[in-house]
Amino acid sequence: MTTYRIRLLPQDVDFDAGEDETLLSAARRAGFILPHRCLIGACASCLCRKLSGEVNYQLAPMLTEREQAAGWILPCQAKPRSDLVLTLE
């Protein structure tokens, strides 16, 4: 399994995420609890911004193309496709 390095701002901490796990799960495994509620991509509680890198979704996320172009992702559904820099700010 391919593993990617995820940097989380503003805490400036790193954790590893496998290509088949969601960013929320990978963060939790590393001891970082990200905001969340529904875990199914519907509530947007987990919304955070991707400053660099690529993510993938099994199903199309409930985000507009414009939101995705601005970097918004749903970590409860997004899986990494590269190293990433994310910000909760």
Position 64 contacts ligand FES (CB under 6 A): no
Amino acid at 75: P
Among 13, 42, 51, 70, binds ligand FES (CB under 6 A): 42
Q: Which of 11, 13, 37, 70 binds ligand FES (CB under 6 A)?
A: 37
The Cα–Cα gap between 29 and 25 comes to: 6
Query: Taking CA 11 as the corner, what is the angle to CA 47 and CA 30, rounded to the nearest 5 degrees?
Result: 80
- Whole-number Å distance between alpha carbons of 74 and 51: 14
Which CB, 2 or 38, lies closer to ligand FES? Answer: 38
We find the least distance from the C-beta atom of residue 28 to ligand FES, in angstroms, to be 12
Q: Which residues are near ligand FES by CB under 6 A?
A: 36-39, 41-46, 74, 76
